[in-house]
Structure 1
């Protein structure tokens, strides 16, 4: 090919890339302005702990639930896309309020179900640094990029003063990923065989209420695990007005989430096979709820529910491929499943790396412990 033509093709590709970049910036102009505004707000309130803790909580509350909606609410939203958003919101919102109220009442004002009693997290912050307040803003950006980032890693690691706590959280999360991956493969192979025999055609009417019960249970178990990610900015024992502020803000934030139908991060679920089928959604939620319930009983050390979820979905996708009848289709589907698995895991690993860098940048004690460990 002549050099002139090569240069022309290269110039056209560069021009196209620049155009796409400016087009993306134009489409995301409002979001970029919002992020800049939040960043400025964090910088302004950092010296004022009483104000900063509520600003940090507010940002963490929406960003954490918006990101983690793919885990507990993603299949629920996908399989109920034909229903009014406010019906779904009221159902999920009431379960949230009831779950955190139980923890608040039983544990003397603690809404984290004792997850924040873990050594290294038990001290409520008396002052803040800018990066601690900006952590939820970073999470919002990663969510916009459709990254299933662990809010546990990103938010809790910004506050822990012990490297050992970070290591325990990572270890428990990785065990959760491997367990959910294995269970996902085995469970879906069994379920696929049962579905092929007994679940042909349209799902029966009983599947919808069963899915709502399963999704509600999963949501409650998830709150037990992940409420700590939101409450990390607040006192460990909330007064009545503080609890009302905490629960009320998240309740109405959930309303916005359902109004937006999960926003960008919902695509992580929608691209998986058959999640809009109420039967598939019910099975995914049931298995996920059982895994989270098991880990909630193992210890009160926080863990990344994101890693458990992407492991479960990866196992399911692999199982779907393995159950294909034709060898060619089976091979193609398994390869596609591993590609999706690698993409989700890669993004989750990037989130882990960012969270570790934040923890190292914020806390000198964590830096010194990591240096001594390695």
Structure 2
């Protein structure tokens, strides 16, 4: 029975984590490639996922989480109440609310000390993302995000270059996100997987991704679509590069899991402030409203995840 609960937990966590977090890494990719077949986009993302997973499994002796679960041991007995976290995340995702899947899933299995470390790392990640994106876009917004510059790109037929650049940046970003968030997906399974467990779980995740890609990201994709120019390939590429570099540099400083959602919302916030300040000041108030709304949503997720963690401790 415990094994059944573990496998069910893995499948629910895999769907809810990928569905909720798809906007971070593949949201701009789906948005700017909306005319392309979803099968092509899925095959591309699935290949990157398979390579990243197998590399981590081989390098870390069967641990696909890249040692993110090293300090989060698998409970000796997994009871039904451990499913409360991924089920709650599943419900929240259906309402299109972006939350930290790291806090929602891992806090149930973690000690209070580790939860505090995750929160501190995530808060600093959000602040760093806002400041970095703000400074970068204050420099490049007029050159790359103005209507005239976007029209100029079309006239100069630079789309092919930027399309290639976007697919490369997406591959880099997707792999870095997976390194951070494989822990959220695999927390229900043994820390060292056998070859059959690896391949079986890979097939499950690829099937989940096919469903999400077929639905173009679902309701939660609206978070990206509301932001300025995200359907433009060049704009999407610049967002992906900023986010990927931040995850690569800051996210890999140590093996403490962090909220990639907070970092992504921070990138969008800093970018939106800079673009509206420089190019469309009349919409600056609306931009602040969207930023506060997004930040409130991720904090709701944090509060819910901590509440669930304490509830499970009581049930124990």
User: What TM-score, normalized to structure 1?
Assistant: 0.80
Deviation at residue 253 of structure 1 after TM alignment:
1.0
Deviations 1:77-114 (CA, angstroms, capped at 9, x unpaired):
00000000000000000110110101101111100000
Work out which of the residue numbers 116, 129, 137 in structure 2 matches 1:167.
116
Q: Does the alignment pair 1:345 with 2:295?
A: yes
Matching residue of 1:305: 260
Matching residue of 1:148: 98
Deviation at residue 152 of structure 1 after TM alignment:
0.2
**Contact preservation (8 Å) 2:10, 2:189:** yes
**Contact preservation (8 Å) 2:251, 2:258:** no
> What does 1:284-363 align with in structure 2 at a 5 Å threshold?
284-324=239-279, 329-330=280-281, 332-363=282-313
Distance across 2 between alignment mates of 1:126 and 1:100: 25
Q: Any idea what SS the aligned residue of 1:291 has?
A: helix
Which structure 2 segments of 5+ residues have no match? none
Matching residue of 1:267: 222
Matching residue of 1:26: none
Deviation at residue 193 of structure 1 after TM alignment:
2.6
**Contact preservation (8 Å) 2:62, 2:193:** yes
**Contact preservation (8 Å) 1:129, 1:362:** no
Deviation at residue 201 of structure 1 after TM alignment:
4.4
User: What TM-score, normalized to structure 2?
Assistant: 0.95
Deviation at residue 271 of structure 1 after TM alignment:
0.7
> What does 1:27-38 align with in structure 2 at a 5 Å threshold?
none
Deviation at residue 291 of structure 1 after TM alignment:
0.3
Moved more, 52-61 or 333-342: 333-342
How many pairs align? 310
Q: Does the alignment pair 1:245 with 2:200?
A: yes
Work out which of the residue numbers 124, 136, 140 in structure 2 matches 1:191.
140
Matching residue of 2:21: 68
Deviations 1:122-159 (CA, angstroms, capped at 9, x unpaired):
x1123223331121121111111111111000000111
Which structure 1 segments of 5+ residues have no match? 1-47, 367-374
Q: Any idea what SS the aligned residue of 1:206 has?
A: helix
Deviation at residue 364 of structure 1 after TM alignment:
5.4
Q: Any idea what SS the aligned residue of 1:115 has?
A: coil
Distance across 1 between alignment mates of 2:177 and 2:81: 26
Deviation at residue 198 of structure 1 after TM alignment:
5.8
Deviations 1:152-183 (CA, angstroms, capped at 9, x unpaired):
000001111x1010000011000000000011
Distance across 2 between alignment mates of 1:284 and 1:190: 14
Q: Any idea what SS the aligned residue of 1:117 has?
A: coil
Q: Does the alignment pair 1:82 with 2:35?
A: yes
Higher relative CO (Cα under 8 Å, sequence separation at least 6) belongs to 2
Q: Does the alignment pair 1:102 with 2:55?
A: yes
Distance across 2 between alignment mates of 1:308 and 1:116: 20
Matching residue of 2:66: 113
